[in-house]
Amino acid sequence: MAADECKIKVVCRVRPLNDKEERARSKSVVKFPSDHDDKDYVFDKVFRPDATQEKVYIEAAKEIVEYVLKGYNGTIFAYGQTSSGKTHTMQGVLNKENEQGIIPRIVQDIFNHISTFSTSNLQFEITVLSKTNLAVRDDKNRVPSVKGVTECVVSSPREVFKTIADGKKNRHTAVTNMNEHSSRSHSVFLINVKQNNVETEEKLKGQLYLVDLAGSENVAKTDAAGQMLNEAINNNLSLFALGNVIKALVRKTLTDGPKPYIPFRDSKLTRILKESLGGNARTIIILCCSPASISESQTKSTLKFGQRVNKELTAEEWKRHYEKECEKAARLEKQLSLAEAESEQWDKERTKLHQQIDEQVNRQDI
């Protein structure tokens, strides 16, 4: 699939109706057609409301663990409106195994993988960073870094969970009409895995950004005002910038001609994620949606965001596939022409040889 070639995967998760929506007698407006039906939105994977946390992790995110342990970078981020299930998908409930989200499951998997390696020659260093309310600065080499953050060296999943919990306490939330605990800031969780092979002196470093984005909001529905309104506008602008970066990366990966400009510097978030988006990095976009009729417009907006990425992939991939097939057809036509010319030459040689044989036989008869 195109998503595999350009290392961008888009999945969608639809949560069940919540208590507030049921009290408002809101109906579920999301339908899941069969494979034989026409579909308005198509993604690499779609998770229905009854999908467990484990199922979402295994089928959407688990593959990225081995990739990071091989020294590559990756990013997983949850995108959707306020109260669509992003934090539940990314973090879940840390102290309940069945309800843990992607971040704690990835952490556990990384430590499990490391424990299976022969540690006599390998040395591992795992550091984590958990940050909200992003403030970014550039060093003298114009490399962006997050201000006011100290990376923590960790030796167990429990230590990582503590870092997550500490970061959660600092996350700015506020009450809106859409959500009683609406996140007003992006939450970025970074795992650095450094490997050192003592015997070969080979060193590998993989980075994995796990991002719980602030909600994309219809400002009119939230009744936000003052500082909250400014925050909502800034968050929406940041999400818009992220969408532009993703689309530009898709074009860059699938285009053989001049490479498009990637607008990483348009927001703090995209500046931070620069090293883990594009190139050899893997990106997994998880669209989180509410099925409720009262959220229909915002759900459609979320789905269209993911569909734009997929359509970009599909259109460019078919174009490239068509161009490759044309090149292949041209090569085959050239080979066929050469073969026909060679066959014609052999026919001439065979006719000439038959004539020589006939002449020699005629001389012997005389």
Which residues make up each annotated binding site for ATP?
80-87
User: What is the sign of the dihedral through the CA atoms of 114, 206, 55 and 131?
Assistant: positive
| Alpha-carbon span 13 to 32, nearest angstrom | 12
| Alpha-carbon span 9 to 309, nearest angstrom | 9
Q: Which residues are annotated as a binding site?
A: 80-87
What region, left, alpha or beta, does residue 129 occupy, with left being phi > 0 and alpha being psi -120 to 50 degrees? beta
| Position 179, amino acid | N
> Phi and psi dihedrals of 243, rounded to 5?
-60, -40
Query: Considering only CA atoms, which of 136, 246, 128 is closest in space to residue 186?
Result: 136
Q: Measuring CA to CA, how many Å separate 68 from each of 102, 150, 191, 221?
A: 15, 22, 9, 40
**Do β-strands 203-212 and 282-289 pair in parallel, antiparallel, or remain unpaired?**
unpaired
Strands (E) in the chain, as ranges, are 8-14, 45-47, 74-79, 122-132, 136-138, 144-146, 152-154, 173-174, 182-183, 187-197, 203-212, 282-289
